[in-house]
Amino acid sequence: MYDLSELPHSRDLRKGRVSLDNHSYFITKCVHHTVGEPLAHPDCAELVVSSLVWAKQQGWWRILGFVVMPDHYHAIIGLRSARQLSSVMESIDKFTARRLNQLLQRKGPFWQDGFYEHLVRDRKDYDDILAYVHSNPVEAGLADSPDVWEHSTANSAYANEIDWAWLGPSMPEIRECRYRFVKEDVPPGYW
Ligand code: NI
């Protein structure tokens, strides 16, 4: 385990901090350490993707990219509801944990508490993060190229989930924030 107190602010574990409507966030959500690598199971990864799409269909967020890895997932979302990001994530966690535990015929916590987040600064920051997200399976030695990883917006099966129309003209720039995404923002072990 890593010492949370040493993490820079961008990867603080979220505990009910205020999130901004119409802004974009890079999220990392990790599987509980007792569960192993359940998302390597295609049915489980599929369920995680379904939950991200479900939240989109509820009008809570726009999908701007994702990848499901064996023991965590990354997503870039554009928050569009009055609900706080932490509240949306709680809904998704509950929605998925119960079904994933059923699939795996297990009980107990499925996810680590909370999630890691980074406020996306501007289009450049977004492009860097999306490239990072899509290269996850390659960096982990699980795929030869991003597009062959099944549960990723780099794959043609899900590329259309990205709201490109909104990204172009509408992504707000957050000029007062100098902090940009670097790979080290992601918790060790979940690159
Ligand atoms: Ni990762």
Whole-number Å distance, alpha carbon 105 to ligand 1 midpoint, is 26
**pTM of whole model > 0.85?**
no
Does 191 reside within a domain?
no
Detail the DSSP E strand segments found in the chain.
24-30, 61-69, 72-79, 116-119
The CATH number that applies at residue 129 is 3.30.70.1290
Does 47 reside within a domain?
yes
- Residue 23, number of CB atoms within 10 A of its CB: 17
For residue 173, pLDDT beyond 70:
no
Does 83 reside within a domain?
yes
Q: Express as a percent the part of the chain with pLDDT over 70.
A: 77
Whole-number Å distance, alpha carbon 140 to ligand 1 midpoint, is 8
Burial label for 145, CB within 10 Å (0-12, 13-18, 19+), is exposed
Whole-number Å distance, alpha carbon 86 to ligand 1 midpoint, is 20
Does 22 reside within a domain?
yes
Does 6 reside within a domain?
no
Q: Measured between alpha carbons, how far is 118 from 180 in angstroms, rounded to an integer?
A: 9
What is residue 188's DSSP assignment?
T
Give residue 1's pLDDT: 32
Q: Measured between alpha carbons, how far is 47 from 60 in angstroms, rounded to an integer?
A: 18
Whole-number Å distance, alpha carbon 106 to ligand 1 midpoint, is 24
* Token reading at 39: 């998302």
Quote the number of domains for the chain.
Answer: 1
Per-residue burial over 38-70, b = 16 or more CB atoms within 10 Å of its CB, e = otherwise: bbeeeebbebbbebbeebbeeebbbbbbbbbbb
Give residue 15's pLDDT: 46
| 55: Cα within 13 Å, side-chain hemisphere | 31
Does 112 reside within a domain?
yes
Give residue 44's pLDDT: 97
Give residue 23's pLDDT: 85
Does 147 reside within a domain?
yes
Task: Please write the tens of the pLDDT for every residue from 30-88.
Answer: 999 999 999 999 999 999 999 999 999 999 999 999 999 999 999 999 998 778 899 99
Q: Measured between alpha carbons, how far is 180 from 143 in angstroms, rounded to an integer?
A: 27
Give residue 159's pLDDT: 92
Whole-number Å distance, alpha carbon 166 to ligand 1 midpoint, is 25
Give residue 71's pLDDT: 96
Does 190 reside within a domain?
no
Range of the domain at 82: 13-185
